[in-house]
């Protein structure tokens, strides 16, 4: 026999719990987003970084160099600078 205290809330039925899971998930996403916005406002380093990412249209989640135009251009720029330096004999 189980007893339930008067102030203890009744447990939700499994079907009802499923019904609440989606709003909870969406709320967590909203909180995460608001947290990032707040961090952005309060931490200078993050604010500067995210501003730069937006301005230069960088995708920080790119996994491989072929997914980032800036990474591909960087290699070309490095090769160009090194060969230009060889031509001019810069030491």
Cα dist from 25 to 12, 16, 19, 29, whole Å: 17, 15, 11, 6
Residue 42-71 contact track with another protein, rule CB under 8 A, x = bound: ---xx-xxx-xxx-x-xxxxxxxxxxx-xx
CA distance 91 to 53: 34
Of 75, 59, 79, the residue nearest 67 (C-alpha): 59
5 versus 55: smaller Cβ distance to another protein: 55
Choice between 6 and 16, CB closer to another protein: 16
Binding site for another protein (CB under 8 A): 18, 21-22, 25, 29, 32-33, 36-37, 40, 45-46, 48-50, 52-54, 56, 58-68, 70-72, 74-79, 81-82, 84-86, 90-91
């Amino acid at each position: 026999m189980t007893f339930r205290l008067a102030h203890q809330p009744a447990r939700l039925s499994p079907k009802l719990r499923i019904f609440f899971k989606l709003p909870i998930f969406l709320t967590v996403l909203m909180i995460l987003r608001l947290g990032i916005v707040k961090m952005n406002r309060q931490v200078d380093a993050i604010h500067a970084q995210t501003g730069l990412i937006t301005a230069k249209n960088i995708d920080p989640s790119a996994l491989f160099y072929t997914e980032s135009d800036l990474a591909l251009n960087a290699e070309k720029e490095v090769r160009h600078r090194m060969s230009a330096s060889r031509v001019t004999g810069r030491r």
